[in-house]
Structure 1
Amino acid sequence: MSGQPREKAVPTPTPAGKVRMTPSEALVETLAAHGVDKVFGIVGSAYMDALDIFPAAGIRFISVAHEQNAAHMADGYSRATNRHGVCIAQNGPGITNFVTGIAAAYWAHSPVVAITPETGSLGVGLGGFQEANQMPIFSTITQYQVHVNHPARIAELTNRAMTIAINERGPVQINIPRDYFYADIEAEIPPVQYLERGPGGAQSLDEAAQLLAQARYPVIMAGGGVIMSGGVEEARLLAEYLCAPVVTSYLHNDAFPASHELSTGPLGYQGSKAAMRLIAKADVVLALGSRLGPFGTLPQHGMDYWPKDARIIQVDANPRMLGLVKKIAVGICGDARQAAAELLARLKAQRGPAKRNEARIAEIRQAKEEWAKELAQWPSPSESGRIGPRQALAALAKALPQNAMVSTDIGNVCSVANSYLHFDQPQSFFAAMSFGNCGYAFPTIMGAKVARPDRPAIAYVGDGAWGMSLAEVMTCVREDIPAIAVVFNNMQWGAEKKNQIDYYGNRFVGTNLTNPNFAEVAKAMGAEGVRVDHVDQIGDALAAAVKSNRCTVLDVQLTRELGEPFRRDALKKPVRYLAKYKAYT
């Protein structure tokens, strides 16, 4: 992935030099110095002394229904702004509820800051109320952890964690014994200092430029690092110079403008056949700001499309990612935006002005047109009162406002949406990436909406996953967050049911659902709710929801049609040996 110049936040004035204060004041002043003005969580006695002064520091506390969703909201906020997203909760059970959300942030490379108050220092190990060993829980899903070992160090250690969150692009944990919020200390609020990113080493850039200059059919794979570095424009200029097709990495559909003539769509599960057919021809692949995650290049649509003999140039700000998943010819440890700019400068010096390849442009256009036609004709019949899922997804895509932000949950229909979601601006698409947890989409889009109130914010959620996050509708009403949930109601856990169909003889255990009217549930919580049971209603319902500027739940009634499973190699036809199970083959 890549580093990113953060969007500007207006920091509050901080005291100069060492000043007498409490640890709570030191914590809050350090947050404010880093531009934090929103914190997500549930109120708890463990940190109430700091909470009490949030308003005076200009920090809005957004109280949620469940702590997991506070972490997801912090993730969405962070991804929409490239700034810290901060969450906090009560020690013990409140903190353990963060785990799933922090893990999702880890795989999205989001600089989320989890502040985890802990059992008082004198009670550790005694099995007291709400005690848990909170550091090991997060040890593999954070970039950095720090335990505050003295009240006087709270500003120093908080600043260090927040700096690492931005520099290393990932969540951090600040663990604070609850009695350490109280003391008289002398503390200095450290100045904010972040690393300046560079384009990479001169030799690796030279080698990469030479490979691209000699390439017969170069293809650019734009990953999340392009978005995080603010490098979409630089990627566009480089692609135009090379006249190279651009594919986007899995679930980074907003890493390159979809309307551009060189854009071919996303790779990975339910991705674009046009992208897959074109990258299959590549002799050189420039993986720009991508870790080349294994799930994102698996065969799809019956196509094993990854070019086996292509030479790969990988650009990533984390040197550990270079060559980790796929064998590479050149590894560039650098910022995706700056690396793209430097490669373009070197290519111009070697080759002179760009030469437009009309034949390649025509080939790209034809591949996209063929895929669009195939997608439009994909059978997805409706039934009385229920809409074919692909018809619903196509209607939603057509109705999306141009500047919309969309999050998708994990699940069958939400994953099929990958074929239909196209964006022209970055920081528009939020998914749980390779962690793939249910209950992700709605709280994440809530956080994104808090960050960007000027943009429509829409979550795609399956009815199973909706059960994990629907309580946050109350949060939206209370906190005036006009997020929109599109609930795909097909009365089933679709992804797992598809496995039971394909591998387990249509024996449905735990996958059929009986749902209430989610629109009426939303109204009962004070939001808008609309039941949608015909494809012609979708566009108007979404437009009305956006125009209302209120939290709205669209309960979209779908047929039980299911797309292909995530991966064909994940399961096998069962073999049974015991007599009582012989029928279950």
Structure 2
Amino acid sequence: MKASDLMVRCLEAEGVEYIFGIPGEENIDFMDSLTRSSIQFVLARHEQGAAFMADMYGRLTGKPGVCLATLGPGATNLITGVANAHLDRSPLIAITGQADLTRLHKESHQHIDTIQLFKGITKYNQQILSAYTIPEIIRKAFDLATNESPGAVHIQLPVDVARHEVISSPLLIGKQAKIKPDSSSLQAAAKLIMEAKRPIVLAGNGVIRNRAWEEVRKLVEKANLPMVNSFMAKGILPFDHPRNLFTIGGKPNTDTLRPLIEADLVIAIGFDLVEYDPVLWNKEQSRKVLNIHTIQAETDAHFPVELDLVGDLQDTLKALLELVDQRPEPIGYNQIRASRVEELQTIPSSEQELPRKVMWTLSEKLSKDSIVISDVGLHKVWVSRWYQPKAPGQTIIYNGLASMGASLPGALASRLAKPNSPVIVVSGDGGFLMNSQELETAKRLGLAFTIIIFNNQSYGLIEKHQRAANLAVTQIAFTNPDFNLFAQSFGIAYRCAKNAEEFSQVLTEALESGELNLLEVVLMGEEV
């Protein structure tokens, strides 16, 4: 068989269902091999969109999403999506083509050293030089993409290697024993929790990645611990849970920071430092940290780790649960919760009325299994603070690389990965137009979801930062197409809302339609 046939067989053995990408001259043999495969190729309209699709598939399934591009410009177009997966720790495999090995030593058409380009944004980055190494490389790639801290992997397949004849087969996928902290470490962790005067749980993205939200909830309830979550870990506790002190992150106001600032022990569970810089909530380095994660904590002066509990999150938390007792009522935190609930349910200004009511409407109307994907911009702050999901693992907020333009491609992959879950995109006009070409992909595949676009004709989050720094507001305004005509050109449904009542009505219509919908929310001067 050809080496490309072997590579596809290895991908099948790893359970790959979809490959997102755009073919090129240097991977036509691989594409030919896919025609004899069970793997479905999803033809995207831009390689960046394909990488974002693979990223989202990995987030939702825990299995690596796979994307494909040719050499040169195809490979470079993948980089933003691969970097997004890298910093958000999503399992992803990027496969790129390359020129013949015989011309890699010199300047030649479309050849650049993409191995060097992917070096800083991948866990494993390998060129295939011999067809016989393919089974080992693929097995290692999937192992590294998923184990411990997940992430992105890059595999490069030169065109002449893809055509080599080879006799080989995929490697066995063995089971790995889960890592669990030793008994003395667990007892030390329990002692820290029980002896702290004002402990608080900080739940991060790792809780979602490891599906450990039930174990976190049980620990919170048994030990009577208050809890905050990062942007990427929304929904672990329901809105009305008495220990839920809600979402923290970004550069919030003092009231939002208080839950962490008033603690003497931060129990960080699955928390990645990329989610929320510790200098913002532990500037004076006075709060000790109990770090519970699948990997050792990153070294940071403002994240002073008293104890690292490294291992499988579910098993670690189950073991810790047996060692803690109920603590006294957390003094002061009930008042903090009451003030935060009041803030979440209050409209402090007319400028915030429509954004807040949109988030409240989404919180009220969306079903428990709905997947909400926020793009990046000012609306991300609104989703993070004001939207209240009914279940964990259903709210996707990009907060590592935090790349604009990821939400629409992500929605497409969400519908493939979770076909029974409604999908809602929340985007700004800036981010939406960065990958709006993937509307054609979604329409071609017959995928139905709803895209909410906040139209304020500006990069609103940048304006907010300019004003906060007392700088000139400059170079953030632009014009938009007529989104009604834009939607018509793709053959998709369009709806528009200029106030909260209209939004509630058109959202219901969109959700009930079973169609691919574009829902425009017109904003004028909104700011938070």
Give the structure-2-normalised TM-score. 0.93
For residues 142-541 of structure 1, the aligned pairs below 5 Å read: 142-167=122-147, 168-193=149-174, 195-269=176-250, 276-293=257-274, 295-297=276-278, 299=280, 308-319=285-296, 321=298, 326-347=303-324, 351=325, 354=326, 357=328, 359-360=329-330, 364=333, 366-381=335-350, 388-503=354-469, 506-508=472-474, 510-541=475-506
Q: Partners of 1:402 and 1:297 in 2: how far apart?
A: 32
Distance 1:30 1:324, change over 3 A: farther
- Counterparts of 2:360 and 2:28, CA distance in 1: 47
CA contact (8 A) 1:78 1:84 kept: yes
Residues 29 and 445 of structure 1: CA distance in aligned 2, closer, same or farther (over 3 Å):
same
Cα distance, 1:274 vs structure 2: 6.9
Instruction: Tell me if structure 1 keeps the 8 A contact 2:369–2:421.
Output: yes
Q: Render the CA deviation track for 1:405-433: whole Å, top value 9, x for unaligned.
A: 11112212332321112224332122221
Which secondary structure does the structure 2 equivalent of 1:319 belong to? coil
3-state SS in 1 of match to 2:342:
helix
> CA offsets per residue over residues 247-273 of structure 1, 9 Å max, x none?
112432144444433222111127697
d(CA) in 2 for partners of 1:498, 1:286: 32
Structure-2 change in CA distance of 1:249 and 1:42 (3 Å): same
Q: How many angstroms does 1:38 deviate by?
A: 0.7
Q: C-alpha offsets along residues 490-510 of structure 1, whole Å, 9 cap, x if unaligned?
A: 0111122234444465453x2
Report the aligned-residue RMSD: 2.4
Residue 82 of structure 2 aligns with which residue? 102
- Mean CA deviation greater in 454-463 or 209-218: 209-218
Matched, 1:83 2:83: no
C-alpha displacement at 1:336, in angstroms? 1.8
Distance 1:504 1:245, change over 3 A: closer
Mean Cα displacement is larger for which, 551-560 or 310-319?
310-319
Q: For 1:558 and 1:41, locate their aligned partners in 2 and report how far apart those are by CA, in whole Å.
A: 35
Report the 3-state secondary structure (helix = DSSP H, G, I; strand = E; otherwise coil) of the residue aligned with 1:402: coil
> How has the CA–CA distance of structure 1 residues 259 and 271 changed in structure 2, closer, same or farther, with 3 Å as cutoff?
farther
Q: In structure 1, list runs of 5 or more residues that go unmatched.
A: 1-20, 564-585
CA distance in 1, matches of 2:73, 2:158: 15
Q: Percent identity?
A: 26
Q: Is the contact between residue 207 and residue 270 of structure 2 (CA under 8 Å) also seen in structure 1?
A: yes
Find the counterpart in structure 2 of residue 115 from structure 1. 95
Structure 1 residues 507 and 248, CA gap change in structure 2 (3 angstroms): closer
| Cα distance, 1:271–1:237 mapped onto 2, change above 3 Å | farther
Q: How does 1:41-56 map to 2 (within 5 A)?
A: 41-56=21-36
CA distance in 2: counterparts of 1:392 and 1:559, whole angstroms: 14
2:322 is paired with a residue whose SS is: helix
**Per-residue Cα deviation, 1:311-366 (whole angstroms, up to 9, x for no partner):** 2100122225366751111111212221111111222xxx5xx46x5x44x96555
Q: For the structure 1 residues 172 and 194, does the alpha-carbon distance in structure 2 shift closer, same or farther, using more than 3 Å as the test?
A: farther
1:291-327 deviation per Cα after TM superposition (whole angstroms, max 9, x unaligned):
334734464xxxx577953321001222253667511
State the Cα distance separating 1:55 from its structure 2 match: 4.7
Instruction: State the alpha-carbon separation in 1 of the partners of residues 465 and 265 from structure 2.
Output: 36
Deviates more, 1:310-319 or 1:196-205: 196-205
The correspondence of residues 20-31 of structure 1 with structure 2, limited to 5 A, is 21-31=1-11
State the TM-score, normalized to the length of structure 1: 0.84
Q: Shift in Å at residue 74 of structure 1?
A: 0.6
> What's the counterpart of residue 71 of structure 1?
51
| Residue type at the aligned position of 2:309 | I
Between stretches 286-295 and 363-372, larger displacement belongs to 363-372
Contact 1:323 1:331 in 2 (8 A): no
Higher mean displacement: 220-229 or 109-118:
220-229
CA distance in 2, matches of 1:325, 1:150: 47
* Kept in 2: contact 1:221–1:287 (CA 8 A): yes
Which stretch of the first structure deviates more once superposed, 61-70 or 148-157? Answer: 148-157
Give the 3-state SS of the residue equivalent to 1:390 in structure 2.
helix
In structure 1, give the amino acid aligned to 2:170.
Answer: I
Please say if residues 87 and 274 of structure 2, whose CA atoms lie closer than 8 Å, have aligned partners that are also in contact. no
**Alpha-carbon distance between aligned partners in 1 of 2:215 and 2:386, rounded to the nearest angstrom:** 25
Q: Indicate the residue corresponding to 2:41 in structure 1.
A: 61
* Residues 372-381 or 464-473, more deviating: 372-381
**Counterpart of 1:251 in 2: which secondary structure?**
helix
> Aligned pair 1:553/2:513, yes or no?
no
1:574 corresponds to which residue?
Answer: none
- SS of 2:271's equivalent? coil
What SS class does the counterpart of residue 7 from structure 2 fall into? helix
The whole-number CA distance in structure 2 between the counterparts of 1:50 and 1:457 is 32
Q: Distance in 2 between matches of 1:478 and 1:272?
A: 44
Instruction: Name the aligned partner's letter for residue 379 of structure 1.
Output: P
CA distance 1:273–1:460, change in 2 (3 Å): farther
Distance 1:504 1:377 in 2: 27
1:74 to 1:258, Cα distance in 2 relative to 1, 3 A: farther
For 1:427, give the aligned amino acid.
Answer: G
SS of the aligned residue for 1:56 comes to coil
CA contact (8 A) 2:285 2:304 kept: no
Q: Is the 8 A contact 1:84 1:113 kept in 2?
A: yes
Aligned to 2:434, the other structure's residue is in SS state helix
Query: 1:119: Cα distance to partner?
Result: 1.2
Indicate conservation of the 8 Å contact 1:249/1:296, yes or no: no
Q: SS of the counterpart of 1:175?
A: strand
Amino acid at match of 1:449: R
Q: Which amino acid aligns with 1:244?
A: L
Q: CA deviation at 1:282?
A: 2.2
Q: How many residues align?
A: 527
Shift of 1:155: 2.0
Q: Deviation per CA, 1:471-507: give whole Å up to 9, x if none.
A: 1111110112223211110011112223444446545
* 1:6-17 map, 5 Å: none
Secondary structure class of the residue paired with 1:315: strand
